[in-house]
């Protein structure tokens, strides 16, 4: 990766998350950026901090029956069903097309069993041009009655540890599900399992009903909520994890503009991910990079990394869920 | 290649209470668009509604300025906000998207079959067919009532025969557009080669596709779907297609469509 251009007055946008160096803190989120090349008409990948691929499984998956999406107040529900080309096609067709793209390529990984997570991670370890993997822990665990991997601390420790051993050469990002009572508990388990970086949040479970037919709008009944509607929930979770676990964070959830991104950084994110906004505006990510740069200049912030976790909590605030 | 830029509203006319004709300036889209393609259009600034709305390209106007037109019907929040956009407003407009129609083989007579606001896709196709100098098309056009039938002047002024059907019988044949189609198919001569181009609500596409398949007539369907991104990355807009023992295949309406042959999809 080429270092960020530095001229007099320009902000130092580079960030370091454990073993992962990014040229700037803006990363496109999994499932909203395809396999990267799809965005070439709208932006220069070279201007991005990085992007995360659609979630990859061992075999290709066709996904759920439609309707798969539904717009809701300032957000959307999706139940795509983790449709993807499979790890082999990713390595043979998608990854080579990204050679020299100048940005960090992060592969999102999931499985229905721990063995599947491990097998995908092992295939990806050492792949030329791949900079990190991100484990999606929101996938249902078919061996544990369909409960998501990410809701049980022992399961998290085990799957993260197994993937860590299967892909020792790649920085390991663990993506937490928000569908849990205390996200800090999951974050702690991910750290114990050997995560280098935490990313949060994935989508919140939700549903929509068509009153005319009295049926759920989504064929899958439930879907994941994303977009501006979830931002306050996600921001709180980032702050919560930051206060409980000492690992670098990629925060996300409803980021729609530069100020949203900066709030996530102040709450404790070293980098942010941008999801649903890519659908609304395919050039949004690189525009955010320019706007963050401009904001920092205006505020006299020399390096964006200096903003991470600068949240000023009222004196006497105890970390953890408090009465509201 | 598609592009995304703020397109100024050049004209915005109400055709009746809920149908509008929007003219936007976008030189790049005007230059690159083909009949059957669409744009994703921002209906209002901000996050409500959040997503852009897919709209067929109704026409590319002649001239250097690069004007495109959208014909739409107000059905909900997004289209209502769109209808309030004044001249001069800038609307994020992404396109041209999708595959577009395949023009018929030489000597084949095109039959355009429209249901309701599905009419919006056909003026562009009619102009492309005219440039192709093949047999001229006929239009079969159905709607709930007379008020739902718009853009008739476009076709009549170009001497394209128009046959109408309304569910309430307020004009044309009473019933669905499939009745017009069955009449047309019954009257055709053995040597006639026809190809159907169909756009309308999904139940209508299904019915027309079945009639076409039964009659052994080639048929292209323009599909509708919920489209969050329009560019093939969210995988939200899929349509079931004939699959295999493991079940149906799913294809993206936005990038692999919106135009499919009737035999390619399992509606
Ligand atoms: C490729 C493509 C081209 C289109 N071209 C045109 C066009 O040229 N002119 C035009 O008027 N419309 C067109 N549509 C349909 C148009 O996109 C929808 O009417 C619009 O998105 C509705 O937005 P809304 O916010 O007003 O409605 P909403 O508030 O989102 O919904 C109102 C009602 O409309 C239904 N609806 C919403 N979106 C769709 C959809 N995409 N398909 C079917 N039903 C829907 C909802 O289920 C609901 O009942 C096209 C759709 C596609 C996929
Ligand atoms: C259509 C869609 C598909 C997604 N697919 C994945 C996926 O495959 N793996 C994953 O870890 N997250 C996936 N996500 C979650 C996003 O990466 C992100 O965590 C979430 O959308 C919240 O961010 P946002 O509000 O900015 O969209 C998906 C989200 C959407 C909307
Ligand atoms: S609308 Fe997103 S893939 Fe088609």
How far apart (Å, rounded) are the C-alpha atoms in residues A214 and A111? 33
Q: Is the minimum distance from the CB of B239 to ligand 3 under 6 angstroms?
A: no
Structure confidence by residue, pLDDT tens digits, A17-61:
999 999 999 999 999 999 999 999 999 999 999 999 999 999 999
Structure confidence by residue, pLDDT tens digits, A168-178:
999 999 999 99
* Segment 166-225 of chain B within 8 Å of chain A by CB: 225
The alpha-carbon gap from A244 to the nearest alpha carbon of chain B, in Å, equals 32
Distances, alpha carbon A2 to alpha carbons A5, A101, A164, in Å: 9, 11, 27
* Three-state secondary-structure class, residue B128: helix
Structure confidence by residue, pLDDT tens digits, B41-93:
999 999 999 999 999 999 999 999 999 999 999 999 999 999 999 999 999 99
Q: CB within 8 A of B214, min separation 6: which ones?
A: none
Q: Which atom of ligand 2 is nearest to the CA of B228?
A: 1
| pTM listed for this prediction | 0.95
CB-based burial of residue B106 (10 Å sphere; 0-12 exposed, 13-18 middle, 19+ buried)?
exposed
Q: pLDDT at position A321, please?
A: 64
Measured torsion, CA atoms of residues A254, A258, A263, A268, in degrees rounded to the nearest 10: 90
Looking at chain A, which residue has its C-alpha nearest residue B1? A41
Ligand nearest to the Cα of B239, by number? 3
Q: Which of B2, B41, B79, B234 to mutate to test the pocket of ligand 1 (most atoms within 8 A of CB)?
A: B79
Of A41, A65, A280, the CB nearest to B240: A65
Q: pLDDT at position A8, please?
A: 53
How far apart (Å, rounded) are the C-alpha atoms in residues B123 and A240? 56
Across chain A, mean pLDDT equals 95
B3 touches chain A (CB under 8 A): yes
Residue B160 has pLDDT above 70, yes or no: yes
Residue B191 has pLDDT above 80, yes or no: no
The alpha-carbon gap from B241 to the nearest alpha carbon of chain A, in Å, equals 11
Q: What letter does residue B232 receive in the DSSP assignment?
A: S
> What is the interface pTM, i.e. ipTM, of the complex?
0.94
Looking at chain A, which residue has its C-alpha nearest residue B267? A66
For residue A110 the two structure tokens come to: 């999931």
Ligand nearest to the Cα of B238, by number? 3
Does the N-terminal peptide bond of residue A67 adopt cis geometry, omega within 30 degrees of 0?
yes
Active site residues of A: 139
Q: pLDDT at position A185, please?
A: 97
Structure confidence by residue, pLDDT tens digits, A71-109:
999 999 999 999 999 999 999 999 999 999 999 999 999
For residue B200 the two structure tokens come to: 């309308």
A221, A218, A222, A279: which is closest to A67 by C-alpha? A218
CB B7 within 8 A of CB B84: no
Q: Which of A28, A230, A276 to mutate to test the pocket of ligand 2 (most atoms within 8 A of CB)?
A: A276
* Segment 230-249 of chain B within 8 Å of chain A by CB: 231-240, 243, 246-249
Q: Which atom of ligand 2 is nearest to the CA of A82?
A: 8
């Amino acid at each position: 990766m080429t270092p960020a251009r530095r001229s007099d007055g320009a902000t130092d946008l580079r960030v370091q998350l454990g073993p992962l160096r990014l040229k700037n803190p803006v990363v496109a989120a999994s499932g909203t950026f395809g396999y990267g090349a799809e965005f070439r008409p709208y932006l220069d990948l070279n201007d991005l901090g990085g992007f995360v691929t659609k979630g990859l499984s061992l075999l290709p998956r066709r996904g759920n029956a439609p309707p798969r999406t539904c717009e809701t107040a300032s957000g959307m529900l999706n139940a795509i069903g983790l449709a993807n080309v499979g790890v082999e096609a990713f390595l043979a067709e998608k990854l080579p097309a990204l050679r020299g793209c100048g940005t960090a390529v992060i592969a999102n990984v999931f499985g229905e069993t721990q063995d599947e997570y491990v097998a995908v991670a092992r295939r990806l370890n050492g792949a030329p041009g791949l900079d990190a993997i991100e484990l999606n822990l929101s996938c249902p665990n078919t061996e544990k009655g369909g409960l998501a991997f990410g809701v049980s601390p022992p399961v998290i420790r085990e799957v993260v540890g197994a993937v860590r051993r299967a892909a020792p050469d790649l920085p390991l990002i663990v993506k937490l599900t928000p569908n849990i009572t205390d996200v800090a508990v999951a974050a702690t388990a991910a750290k114990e399992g050997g995560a280098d970086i935490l990313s949060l949040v994935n989508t919140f479970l939700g549903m929509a009903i068509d009153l005319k037919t009295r049926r759920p709008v989504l064929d899958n009944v439930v879907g994941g909520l994303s977009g501006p509607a979830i931002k306050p929930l996600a921001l709180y979770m980032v702050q919560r994890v930051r206060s409980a676990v000492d690992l670098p964070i990629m925060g996300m959830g409803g980021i729609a503009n530069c100020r949203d991104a900066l709030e996530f950084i102040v709450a404790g994110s070293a980098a942010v991910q941008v999801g649903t906004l890519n659908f609304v505006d395919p050039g949004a990510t690189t525009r955010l990079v320019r706007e963050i740069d401009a904001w920092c200049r205006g505020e006299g912030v020399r390096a964006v990394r200096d903003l991470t976790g600068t949240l000023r909590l009222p004196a006497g605030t105890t970390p953890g869920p408090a009465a509201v | 290649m598609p592009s995304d830029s703020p397109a100024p509203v050049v004209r915005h006319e109400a055709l009746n209470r809920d149908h509008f004709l929007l003219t936007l300036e976008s030189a790049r889209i005007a230059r690159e668009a083909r009949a059957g393609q669409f744009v994703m259009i921002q209906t209002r600034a901000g996050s409500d509604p959040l997503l852009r709305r897919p709209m067929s390209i109704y026409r590319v106007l002649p001239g250097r300025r690069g004007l495109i037109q959208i014909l739409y019907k107000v059905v909900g929040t997004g289209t209502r906000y769109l209808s309030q956009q004044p001249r001069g407003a800038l609307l994020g407009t992404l396109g041209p998207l999708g595959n577009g129609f395949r023009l018929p083989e030489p000597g084949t007579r095109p039959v355009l079959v429209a249901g309701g606001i599905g009419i919006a896709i056909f003026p562009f196709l009619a102009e492309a067919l005219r440039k192709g100098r093949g047999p001229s098309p006929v239009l079969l056009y159905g709607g709930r009532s007379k008020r739902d039938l718009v853009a008739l002047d476009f076709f009549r002024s170009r001497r394209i025969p128009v046959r109408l059907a309304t569910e309430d019988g307020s004009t044309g044949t009473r019933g669905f557009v499939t009745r017009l189609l069955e009449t047309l198919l019954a009257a055709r001569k053995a040597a006639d080669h026809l190809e159907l181009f169909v756009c309308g609500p999904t139940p209508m596409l299904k019915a027309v596709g079945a009639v076409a398949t039964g009659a052994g007539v080639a048929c292209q369907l323009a599909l509708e779907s919920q489209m969050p991104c329009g560019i093939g990355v969210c995988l939200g807009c899929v349509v079931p297609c004939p699959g295999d023992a493991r079940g149906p295949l799913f294809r993206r309406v936005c990038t692999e469509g919106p135009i499919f042959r009737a035999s390619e999809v399992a509606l």
